[in-house]
Amino acid sequence: LIPLFVIIGSGGIGAGLYLMRLAVFNPDVCWDKKNNPEPWNKMAPSDQYKFYSVNVDYSKLKKDRPDF
């Protein structure tokens, strides 16, 4: 039973760490509504916010939207 507990425990810890990463680094989540109410507007096109991107090199992306 020890390997079962180790595997289930590591899976739970991994899922918790991934949720923590999403809560802290995802631009869709806003913790501070007074100083930065819309954090997704301050993201540069070269900022990588996805965990894994297959064929996208974020350092070569250009800005294709207007400033507001």
pLDDT, tens only, 6-63: 999 999 999 999 999 888 877 777 777 777 777 666 776 666 666 666 677 767 777 6
How far is the C-alpha of 19 from the C-alpha of 10, rounded, in Å? 14
Q: How many domains does the chain have?
A: 1
Examine residue 66 and state whether it is found in any structural domain, yes or no.
no
- Quick check: is 68 in a domain? no
The answer to whether 40 and 27 have CB atoms below 8 angstroms apart is yes
Domain that holds residue 49: 1-60
In this structure, are residues 49 and 26 in contact, taking their beta carbons and an 8 Å threshold? yes
Q: What is the pTM of this model?
A: 0.55
